Amino acid sequence: MQLESLKVFCDVARCRSVSQAAQLNRMTQSAASQTLRQLEKHLNVQLIDRSVRPLQLTPLGQHFYERCRELVEQFYELEASIRSAGAEVEATVEVAAIYSVGLGDMDKYVERFKVEQPHARVHIDYLHPDRVYEKVADGTADFGLVSFPKPSRKWEVIPWRDEEMVLACAASHPLAARQSIRPAELAGEKYVAFDKALTIRRQIDKFLREHGTTVEVACELDNVESIKKAVEELSGVALLPEPTLRREVRSGALVALPLSGTRLVRPLGIILRRQHKLGATALRFMDLLRSAGDPHSPRPDGRQAQPGRNGAAHAER
């Protein structure tokens, strides 16, 4: 049972002519005639009275036409809506990122991408790390941006960039005048920590342990923005990724002290579902991110990114 057959029948019913209906459907009169006969045979009824000119619908045919027409129209509407929705989806990149990837950074990438791909739309969700993994796993996001990415069967990890961890403190803090600081010097400081459930907290704890230091945890928060605010207000200190502090350092609200004698980095990674081929648009946006973060790392699928029209995608900020 072909939908086209129904359309042909509806057209015949409207035009009262097989030939015209055939033309409307880009087929020969013969094909239309056969189609109608087949339809009637399938339904085991006579829909059209062919013994008069112009042909006429039987009462049954009339009834069938009225209902059928609606259904056919509705279906073609649905088809069109799905098609356009599909094009929309294809042109949209869904990214899931942890809070602290930094709105400032991502905005720049998005702006740059929109210049290169004017028809494209980028949507970034800033979420709790667990939610990021979820959205990647269930396909709601094309890819995710997380810190300390953990490999798994379910997803593939592409290293993106390493962020230097630095000590943040209020401008009025006694340490603010220092050029750098050794981990050991943090002992006794009022420390604002990440939530215990977060990987970064465990990594920092391990780092401090390795340097024989224990800090006095004043409070625990699950995102960078809250920690920054707490550092300011409690006049505490915190170890945070350097890029997330830039705005506050520029405005003078906070001071960022590099660690001396050692180094702690927060690796960021792109995660994406295995065997899940990304759309062309998503692929291009990922390439933009990667070339900005680490232009030399290989692409996991071996495909070449479409180069921007002027190679700007490879320019470091």
25 binds a copy of itself per the rule CB under 8 A: no
Supply 266's token pair. 């927060």
- Residue 206: CB partners within 8 Å, gap ≥ 6? none
Q: Contact with DNA (CB under 7 A): which of 3, 19, 75, 184?
A: 19
Q: Helix axis angle, 29-43 relative to 3-15, nearest 10°?
A: 110
85 binds a copy of itself per the rule CB under 8 A: yes
Least distance from a copy of itself to the Cβ atom of residue 83, Å: 6
Least distance from DNA to the Cβ atom of residue 51, Å: 4
Q: Contact with DNA (CB under 7 A): which of 6, 11, 13, 18?
A: 18
DSSP codes joined into one string, 71-82: HHHHHHHHHHHH
Least distance from a copy of itself to the Cβ atom of residue 189, Å: 47
46 binds DNA per the rule CB under 7 A: no
Q: Contact with a copy of itself (CB under 8 A): which of 26, 51, 172, 302?
A: 51
Supply 96's token pair. 């899931």
A 10 A CB-CB count for 73 gives 12
237 binds DNA per the rule CB under 7 A: no
| Residue 36 binds: one of a copy of itself, DNA, none (C-beta under 5 to 8 A by kind) | DNA
How close are the terminal C-alpha atoms of the chain, in Å? 59
- Kind of pairing between the strands at 190-194 and 56-57: unpaired
136 binds DNA per the rule CB under 7 A: no
Least distance from a copy of itself to the Cβ atom of residue 139, Å: 6
Which amino acid is it at 203?
Answer: Q
Give CA angle at 293 (129, 206), nearest 5°.
50
60 binds DNA per the rule CB under 7 A: no
Give yes or no for a contact between 123 and 75, defined as CB atoms under 8 angstroms apart.
Answer: no
Task: Give the Cα separation of 4 and 23 in Å (integer).
Answer: 13
Question: Distances in Å between the alpha carbon of 148 and those of 145, 167, 247, 268, 281?
Answer: 10, 19, 23, 6, 26
Task: Give the Cα separation of 81 and 32 in Å (integer).
Answer: 28
67 binds a copy of itself per the rule CB under 8 A: yes
Q: Which stretch binds DNA (CB under 7 A): 53-61, 96-104, 166-174, 197-205?
A: 53-61
Q: Which stretch binds a copy of itself (CB under 8 A): 47-55, 142-150, 190-198, 250-258?
A: 47-55
153 binds a copy of itself per the rule CB under 8 A: no
Q: Contact with DNA (CB under 7 A): which of 44, 52, 212, 251?
A: 52
| Residue 35 binds: one of a copy of itself, DNA, none (C-beta under 5 to 8 A by kind) | DNA
Interface ranges with DNA (CB under 7 A): 2, 4, 17-19, 27-31, 33-38, 48, 50-55, 153-154, 274-275
